[in-house]
Amino acid sequence: MATSLVETGAAGHGAEPRGKRTEAGEATYLIAIAEALWEEMERDERVYLLGEDIGAYGGAFKVTEGFIERFGPERVMDTPIAEETIVGMAVGSAMEGFRPVAEFQYADFMTSGFDEIVTAAARYHYRSGVPLPIVLRAPSGGGVRASSFHSTNPEPWFAHAPGLKVICPAFPADAKGLLKSAVRDDNPCVFLEHKWIYRRIKEVMPDDPDLLVPIGSAKVQREGNDVSIITVGAMVHHALEAAENLSQKGVSVEVVDLRTIHPLDGETVLRSVEKTSRAFVLYESHRFLGVGAEVAAMIAEEGFAHLDAPVVRLAPPNVPVPFSPPLEDAYLPQVADIEAAVEKLSAW
Amino acid sequence: MATDVSEKQAEADWRVGLSDDQLKDILYKLKLCRYFDERIEALYRQGRLPGAIYSGRGQEGTHVGVAYPLGGDDSLFVTHRDLSAQFTKGLDLNRVMAQFWGRIDGYTRGRDGNSHVGDWNGKRTWTPVSHLPLAYPVACGAALAYKRRGEARVALAICGEGATSNGRWHESLNVSAVHRLPVVWVVNNNQWAYSTPNPLEFAVPTVAERAAAYGFPGVRVDGADVLEVYRVSLNAVERARSGEGPTLIESVSLRWRGHAGHDPAKYVPKETLDEYMQHKDPVKRFEELLLTHQVVDAEAVKGIQERIESEFDRGYEFAQASPFPVPSDVTKGLWVEDGYWQSEPSREGGTG
């Protein structure tokens, strides 16, 4: 019984995601991710997608809109609501030569597949020597009034399970290049797409389908001399806005975008701290034992001689992500908070 | 003439189409698994074996019976109680022994221990994870790969009846039915999930009847009868291979020993244990069957046993002579690109 699929040619369907760029050639972060998936599926027939509502519906955020018309229901596989089994199927098919990319509707729901991710997938290669080339994609992060179960930043959970590469891009071109690298990587990769960025940030995309961004490499997104902000995900954009505002006040801020949490590019971080002598660690996972806790500890251990002031952290308090706008704004670091903290640090 | 035909039929029926050599091979495997389990426990109790043991004794009929129909390309997803099924699939005794002693020649190069062993690149068996039934969803993935490529291959997964209480057991059965995957689901119902009996694990009379809820057949079989288990498994494997989808097999036996080496299993009633050990011993029963049908004689059985004992002794020596992994390799092998698993490991770890 063939399922009736949306007609090819209907608005937004059956078309290559590149066709959704602006006239100036810009792609949103979301379109950039779709481009990466599309191009990797065109390049390598072992690559396939699985997840909930990713076929005719095109995914909860419409990343895979149009894919089923091009690649068919076997390579754009709708599954029952069974996260453990989605991850397990990715693992088993990877063991048999496929390169699956599984989509979670929200990163929050990765907990429903947690055991397969951290107990089975993460540890398997170390224990057996069998590579597991799988990518687990999930929309993460807050700031969109989605409350406790649709705003999680789970990167510390997965970075703490050895064997998983954890990737958190902030820009469209990085998202595309890193996702393509993840699909071509032989290790399990957790690819966290910040949903606040999805449709807010766009940029001109390179056209080379083999342009990869290496996993495990941070990037200086803005050069500066007085303070280094080391950050990741949506906070990169807040940091850049704060840096621009602070430049009006004569404070020169360097913004280091980690891009990958694990493996962590300590070298780029330390080089920046050596230059500015002041380290400000900004992150969206909980302050307590969050990503920045490791970064701050690393700077303290390995970069102490460079520092003119104590390492400062800014991150959400250790509570669930709240819904009410004033509460969520109080929870998430705001641009004004960043500016105030950086000014204080620069005056130290 | 009619009598001759029915006699021939009866002769063909009892052996389920297996040749004398295959029947002898099954006897060898049953006895090997039994002997290995007994000797390993003895070494453990003597303090000569590090780590833990998870005995599969009394369940050899299930393990050998379900795994025997699998071909080399078919995959086997097991728990740490199913080493006998892995031996049936052909794991090397020497390397398994090296694994038990944490040596570099073990299948996991000392990165895991005891029956947490597998040989994916060789015999197509999963290196088990303690959390059960984590291999069930993975078996779905392997089966999906066979289906996608149109290969006549099958994934067979085993877990205990306790693991059927877990959500992912139900997820996997459901997904395998929805996508009509070439998979065989085996539940080794040994009646005790650690110390928890069947009535505290599920409220239906049998595990097998749960298959109806997912839309495929469920079969309950006596785990003391290895040939009956083999027949049921063969049918399920052929059904999966021909694209007809999954089957659930519940094979009933008794766990003769505790959950692990430390557990005296005093919760198992003595009468039950006696009944199973005396009247439902899958190894003894099969040996008697082959003697009755004159496939083997007492001399041949003795020869099989001697071969097994000498193989075990050689395996033990092999394990003791195999070096430990070198401590400086502890971080290697996490990422594929570090090359650890693609190269020969250091053998400088000593055997002390």
What tokens does A16 get?
A: 């290559």
Q: What does the alpha-carbon distance between residue A205 and residue A228 come to, in Å, rounded to a whole number?
A: 27
Partner-chain contact A120 B134, CB within 8 Å? yes
Residues A250 and A198 in one domain: no
Residues A190 and A238 in one domain: no
A95 contacts on B by Cβ (under 8 Å): 120, 138, 141-142, 145
Q: Which CATH number fits domain B27-264+273-322: 3.30.2270.10, 3.40.30.10, 3.20.20.110, 3.40.50.970?
A: 3.40.50.970
Predicted local distance difference test score (pLDDT) of residue B9: 74
Omega before B133 cis (within 30°)?
yes
Residues A35 and A113 in one domain: yes
Select from B140, B170, B178 the residue whose CB has the most chain A CBs within 10 Å, as the one to mutate to test that interface.
B140
Q: What does the alpha-carbon distance between residue B297 and residue B287 come to, in Å, rounded to a whole number?
A: 10
Residue B110: closest C-alpha in chain A: A127
Give me the domain span that covers residue A181.
17-204
Residues A22 and A131 in one domain: yes
Predicted local distance difference test score (pLDDT) of residue A2: 41
Residues A197 and A325 in one domain: no
Residue B155: closest C-alpha in chain A: A92
DSSP run (H or E) holding B248: strand B247-252
Residues A33 and A77 in one domain: yes
Residue A117: closest C-alpha in chain B: B134
Residues A247 and A333 in one domain: yes
In a domain, A132, yes or no: yes
In a domain, A234, yes or no: yes
In a domain, A325, yes or no: yes
Q: What ipTM does the predicted assembly reach?
A: 0.96
Partner-chain contact B141 A126, CB within 8 Å? no
Of B116, B118, B174, the CB nearest to A82: B174
Residue A165: closest C-alpha in chain B: B335
What tokens does A319 get?
A: 């509570």
> What are the residue ranges in chain B where pLDDT is below 50?
1
- Provide the b/e sequence for B48-86 (b: ≥16 CB within 10 Å): ebeeebbbbbbbbbbbbbbbbbbeeebbbbbbbbbbbbb
Predicted local distance difference test score (pLDDT) of residue B2: 52
Residue A13 has pLDDT above 60, yes or no: no
**Average pLDDT of chain A?**
95
Tell me which residues of A are annotated as active site.
Answer: 150
**Could you give the C-alpha distances from B321 to A36, A233, B119, B240, in angstroms and in order?**
51, 52, 21, 43
Predicted local distance difference test score (pLDDT) of residue A3: 41
In a domain, A2, yes or no: no
In a domain, A260, yes or no: yes
Partner-chain contact A92 B143, CB within 8 Å? yes
**Residue pLDDT, tens place only, A46-71:** 999 999 999 999 999 999 999 999 99
> What is the CATH number for A324?
3.40.50.920
Cα-only R_g, chain B: 20
Number of domains in chain A: 2
**Residue pLDDT, tens place only, A91-100:** 999 999 999 9
Sketch the domain layout of chain B as residue ranges.
Answer: 27-264+273-322
Residues A70 and A175 in one domain: yes
B108 contacts on A by Cβ (under 8 Å): 127-128
Cα-only R_g, chain A: 20
In a domain, A7, yes or no: no
Partner-chain contact B140 A80, CB within 8 Å? no
Residues A122 and A231 in one domain: no
Residues A48 and A173 in one domain: yes
Q: What does the alpha-carbon distance between residue B246 and residue A232 come to, in Å, rounded to a whole number?
A: 45
> What is the CATH number for A142?
3.40.50.970
Bridging pattern class, strands A219-222 and A253-257:
antiparallel
Predicted local distance difference test score (pLDDT) of residue A10: 38
**Residue pLDDT, tens place only, A227-284:** 999 999 999 999 999 999 999 999 999 999 999 999 999 999 999 999 999 999 999 9
Which residues from A are below 8 Å from B when comparing CB atoms?
48, 74, 79-80, 82, 84-98, 100, 115-116, 119-120, 123-131, 162-163, 186-187
Residues A39 and A164 in one domain: yes
Share of chain A above pLDDT 90, in %: 94
Residues A191 and A226 in one domain: no
